[in-house]
């Protein structure tokens, strides 16, 4: 009976480790609070994304070390609204909250959320 319990525990541990290894790296997501919009780029002929930087942010997300650029695919729900908020914040000097996904979009840190503060 004791051997059966040990086998079940090892099997459970193996399944848990396999699930953790297969999980996406969303834990690497980053939240930026009270940041001013630096550069804002609405178009690029190589990819259909909105690109921007935040002042004082040297690395948007550890998923792309040393790169300050964020990207929002135009096909993402709310992309036009996010661009409008970023542009409004840039023009008025308001700050924004930006959350990343821990993944890349168009080669840069993927944005999951933009809030104007």
Q: Express each pLDDT in 74-113 by its tens digit.
A: 999 999 999 999 999 999 999 999 999 999 999 999 999 9
State the residue for tokens 């980053």: 30
Within-domain flag for 19: no
Within-domain flag for 10: no
How is residue 74 written in tokens? 């135009």
Within-domain flag for 18: no
| Cα(101)–Cα(109) distance, integer angstroms | 8
Within-domain flag for 66: yes
The domain in which residue 52 lies consists of 26-116
| Per-residue pLDDT band at 23 (split at 50, 70, 90) | very low
The CATH number of residue 74's host domain is 2.40.50.110
In tens, the pLDDT along 44-83 reads 788 899 999 999 999 999 999 999 999 999 999 999 999 9
| pLDDT mean over 17-26 | 45
Within-domain flag for 76: yes
Within-domain flag for 63: yes
| Per-residue pLDDT band at 25 (split at 50, 70, 90) | very low
- Return the beta strands (E) in 1-117 as ranges: 31-35, 37-41, 49-54, 70-73, 96-105, 108-116
| Cα(55)–Cα(37) distance, integer angstroms | 6
**Phi and psi at residue 95, in whole multiples of 5°?**
-100, 165
User: What pTM was computed for the model?
Assistant: 0.76
Within-domain flag for 33: yes
H/E run at residue 81: helix 79-92
Within-domain flag for 83: yes
H/E run at residue 3: helix 2-22
How is residue 57 written in tokens? 């942010």
Number of domains in the chain: 1
């Amino acid at each position: 009976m004791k051997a059966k319990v040990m086998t079940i525990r090892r099997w459970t541990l193996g399944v848990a480790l396999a699930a953790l290894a297969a999980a996406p790296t969303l834990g690497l997501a980053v939240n930026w609070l009270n940041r001013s919009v630096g550069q804002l780029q609405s178009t690029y002929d190589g990819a259909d994304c909105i690109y921007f930087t935040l002042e004082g942010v040297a690395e948007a997300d550890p998923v792309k070390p040393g790169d300050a650029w964020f990207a929002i695919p135009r096909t993402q729900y709310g992309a036009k609204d996010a661009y409008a908020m970023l542009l409004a914040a840039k023009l008025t000097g308001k700050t924004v909250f930006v959350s990343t996904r821990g993944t890349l979009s168009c080669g840069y840190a993927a944005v999951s959320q933009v809030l104007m503060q």
